[in-house]
Amino acid sequence: MIKFAIFYLLLFLTFSNADQIYNPGTSGGGGGGGEIITTVTTSVSPYTATATTSINYINADTSAAGGPITVTLPDAAAAINKVFHIKKLGTLGNVIVNPAGANTIDGQATMTISGQWSSMHIVSDGNNWFIN
C-alpha cells in the first residue's frame, strides 16, 4: 500500500508544474482519464479574466507591480458556476476586483483585497458574483 501511495505521489508530481496541476485519473487499463484541475497565473499588471479561460487562481503581486492591481472579472452571465481564487501577494497597494458591466460582488460594485496574503474565492451564479 505504501509503495502504491509513493508511486501515485511521484506520478502526480511528474505531471505537475508551476502553471498546471494534473490529475492522472483513476480509470483502469492505462487509458488515461486525467485532466487539468486548476491553472495558476501571477499578474504584475491589470488582469482581465475571461469566462473561457482555464485559469482559476490569480495571484496579484502588487510589490512587483509597484502599486495596486485591478483584476476584472468576466460577465457573470457568460461565466455561470465559474470560480476564481484571487490572492494578493505583495505589500504595495491593493488588489481591486472589478466585475464586468453592471455585475456586482456580494452586492458591491467592486471589492478590495488589502492585506498581504489575503485572498477571495469568488463564484458566478449567472447574474452576479459572490464571495464563497
Closest by CA position to 71, among listed 127, 130, 101, 112: 112
pTM: 0.72
Least confident of 27-36, 52-61, 81-90, 98-107: 27-36
Is the confidence at residue 76, as pLDDT, over 60? yes
Phi, psi (rounded to 5 degrees) for 124: -95, 140
Instruction: Compute the chain's Rg from CA coordinates.
Output: 17
The cell numbers describing 64, all together, are 512587483
Is the confidence at residue 32, as pLDDT, over 80? no
Question: Long-range contact list for 38-45, CB < 8 A, 24+ apart?
Answer: 42/89, 43/69, 43/71, 44/69, 45/69
Identify the band that residue 39 occupies on the pLDDT scale cut at 50, 70 and 90: confident
**What's the rounded mean pLDDT across residues 25-48?**
66
Task: Name the one residue in this structure whose C-alpha cell is 458574483.
Answer: 129
Is the confidence at residue 21, as pLDDT, over 60? no
121 DSSP assignment: E
